[in-house]
Amino acid sequence: MSDVSKYFDLIRLSAVPGVGPNRMRTMIGHFRSVSKVFKASWQELQKIPGIDEKTAKSVVEAKTESFAEKQIKKAEELKVRIISFWDEEFPELLKQIYDPPVLLYVKGNFSENDKYALSIIGTRNPTHYGKIITEKLTTSLAEKGITIISGMAYGIDSIAHSHALKAGSRTLAVVGTGLDITYPSGNQKLSLEIAENGALISEFPFGTKPDRQNFPRRNRIVSGLSHGVIVVEAGIKSGALITASMAIEQNREVFAVPGNINSPQSVGPNALIKQGACLVISAEDILGELSPKLDPIIKGDSKPKLLVELSSDEAAVLSKLSHEPKHVDELVQSVDMRCSQVLSVLLTLEFKNQIRQLSGKMFVKI
């Protein structure tokens, strides 16, 4: 019997209509065995608190053997592991939430260090400011050895995953589909890199498409795996705010990056700050708030930042830049230099990793 075959009855039970994780745990806890659940009569099942007649009959009449067989075969083909709530490997933090999943499909591996994890989430359409802040926060936290968790969506999620990988850290992606479906499809390469340097995680069986109702359930796992959730940019109806709300219910810390009050992408985090979320300007704000929970993993700066020497011209130009893009013509007007001289200074600052050039001769401070 393969490793995943032992989950045959659990997969069968998970496919019964009306039977969610909590009812699964209730029935299995009552009989002390999932196989005994299927051997019970509907009258016996109905005696269990929380199991009504309809649910009991659904279990007795379930014809989910074929479904379970196909799931196990697919897991073996794709080298996806299945982990149950009762397995030692199941993340301890996730067990503590109100409605933890009973089964996790995992492509990749968990690490002991993953218990020191933070989630970074936000809009699919970040501003330049949001992109830069996400890169900086992710890199700073990842270099400390913290596992970065997100949902592999475009935008803030993808930036967080990719920069965690660049920093040589682990990252976990919790998805709202079966692991045989890459969503969004453009993240195929990123998903492979995550599986090699962390894990792709789903509670949904193979074949599950990216339906809207899946993502709130996905989000509770994103926050549940983390000590804290960091919202960089998000609209007022963003899924990131749903995750933040779930984090509060799970007794997790919520952090928010303040933004331009006129930017739609900053409405969400600004609202969270008004409601009491921790305002974040740097990684130190997060680490300070979560000490001593993260202290065991925190590394000293393995790459101490060297002070960059700047000429007076370089310092003058840099002082006129921020995380908001500024056109070169505007820069020329704000400093006492010729255009050619400003362009030369900008090139030097880019070599010194102090600024970044965007399209259309726009520049931002890193």
pLDDT digits (tens, 9 = 90+) for 205-244: 999 999 999 999 999 999 999 999 999 999 988 999 999 9
Ranges of each domain in the chain: 3-78, 112-290, 312-365
* Nearest Cα to Cα of residue 56 among 64, 45, 47, 67: 45
Q: What is the CATH number of domain 312-365?
A: 1.10.10.10
pLDDT digits (tens, 9 = 90+) for 47-82: 999 999 999 999 999 999 999 999 999 999 999 999
Sign of CA dihedral 331, 337, 343, 344: negative
Give the model's pLDDT for residue 307.
Answer: 66
Q: Do domains 3-78 and 312-365 have the same CATH topology?
A: no
Considering the segment(s) 112-290 as one domain, its CATH architecture is 3-Layer(aba) Sandwich (3.40)
The confidence band for 94, taking pLDDT boundaries of 50, 70 and 90, is very high
Tell me what percent of the chain is helix, strand and coil, each rounded to the nearest 5.
Answer: 45, 15, 40
Chain CA centroid to CA 136, Å = 16
The confidence band for 287, taking pLDDT boundaries of 50, 70 and 90, is very high
Tokens of 58: 């659904």
pLDDT digits (tens, 9 = 90+) for 9-22: 999 999 999 999 99
**How much of the chain, in percent, has pLDDT values that exceed 70?**
97
For the cut 80, the answer to whether the pLDDT of residue 2 exceeds it is: no
Angle between helices 128-143 and 156-166 (to 10 degrees): 40
User: Quick one: fold of 3-78?
Assistant: DNA polymerase; domain 1 (1.10.150)
**Single-letter residue type at 11:** I
